[in-house]
A and B are shown apart, each in its own frame.
Chain A
Amino acid sequence: MATEHTYPDTAAKTAAAALPDEFHPERMSLSMGPSHPATHGVLRIQLELEGEVVRKADPVVGYLHRGDEKIAENMTYNQFVPYTDRLDYLAPLANNVAYTLAVERLAHLEVPPRCQAIRVIVSEMARISSHLMGLGAYGIDVGALSVFMYTFLEREKLYTLFEELTGARFTTNYTRIGGVARDVPEGWTERVSAFCDQFLPILDESLALLTRNRIFQDRTVNIGVVSQAEAIAYGLTGPNLRGSGVPLDLRKDRPYSGYEQYDFDVPVGSKGDCFDRYMCRAEEMKQSVRIIKQAVAKFPPGEWYATEAKKIFPPPKDKILTSMEELIQNFMLVTEGPQLPPGEVYFEAENPKGVLGFYIVSKGGGVPWRLKIRSPSFCNLSILPKVCVGAMVADVVSILGSLDFVMGECDR
């Protein structure tokens, strides 16, 4: 397979093989990254090239390591929420939700339906914004600059909605153990459904610039093929796994936060090449819109945090200001953290980039004894040494873009 690029016809191949040694090229070692625009962050790939063909690709990760797992051991569960923003920083809300759900599972805590619906809506909005960024950047990687402008404009609208909801555009810090930081503001759900209505035609317009474009197809079809078996063996998840035709989606297979109430389909690819992965992301956005619309339509009234969990979620602010008991409770909760039982839990959620898992060991109290993050980007990148071999250097850029990883999460 690999040699076909170098020697398109067999006659040339035999002729080249007959040449004396000095005509055979030496392998060249090339560092792609860590500050290369096409590596989407601080990924370095140590390539070994024979001419234009990649013979070996070795991803070098860790340039963005901040020790998040160790940091988590030194603070209460709620204080760690802002750090989860900085894992997959293109979908901070989805990380917030996944982390809180993991801790709540440890506490055997059920949040009210309204809180669940809020979490589903924000997760799906985060998925759309992450995929919009992924598609736009992928367009740039393979030479279609304008798509990025259109997808970025849509992402901007989402960020405005996030800003109204959470107070910040990017580092949202929105969920809390047992609830969310604040209820949805007046009229916010209507603005979300208005966004959904205008979004689909614009998405189709942007996709039309890529999908049937011959240049785009030449750069993606049959490039970076990952077979079903390989995808499973390397632990790929998310659109990268579904692009290879494995219909695994935790929202369907192991529903959490009330996903079982919503109707949606799982797009899968048939071939597992860059084009399939791109198509899966495009379709997923449409499915996310479906979920958001349903969630908004039956947005439940009621409480937006677990009112019964007095040892986990702090009392309302005006109570803290007027009553001594709540004041003391607030002090206890902040200084000692939400009180959780001892035990272990592993919870994974379907994030835009794949399956984000948290493994928490608790010895009781408000601080995790150990917290391990299973980050989808890290596992997805492990396929690189396999899939890049035999590709041209320019294809590496296309493959990287189609894997859509985030180094903040990979290196944690």
Chain B
Amino acid sequence: MIRTHVLICGGTGCTSSNSPAIRAAMEKEIAAKGLEEEVKVVQTGCFGLCALGPIMIVYPDGTFYSRVTEADVPEIVEEHLLKGRPVQRLVYNDTGDEKKVDGPVSLSETGFYKKQMRLALRNCGVIYPVVIDEYIVMDGYAALGKVLTEMTPEGSY
């Protein structure tokens, strides 16, 4: 049973900073540790922080890793995915405040995202864009469905 999702950015920026190789290394390492039934690797679209790529986010804890390299993968698997200790030196936790936090912060708490309210892009970096069902879970097509079935051209119900 899957207990952890490892989201690896597959956007253009991160692809050019080597995320496909990291994804492959991650899948290999997970298999080597016998964690295939517990950990799933998900490719996502651009998170929006390409300069910090390649980006990786681990759920359910939401740990945000930046500038990950292939060489970091075994350590992430052994320490974080197996033993539950995020690899601190890769954790991005700049909240934009003067006071530094230690330990992971979620994406929405980082200085870059804190003041943003993403609408059209809110699923970007959360779902695997190639699987339409993942979009539907995030209420995809719900508005269109409502328009077509419940509303009138005048805009009333």
B is bound to A: no
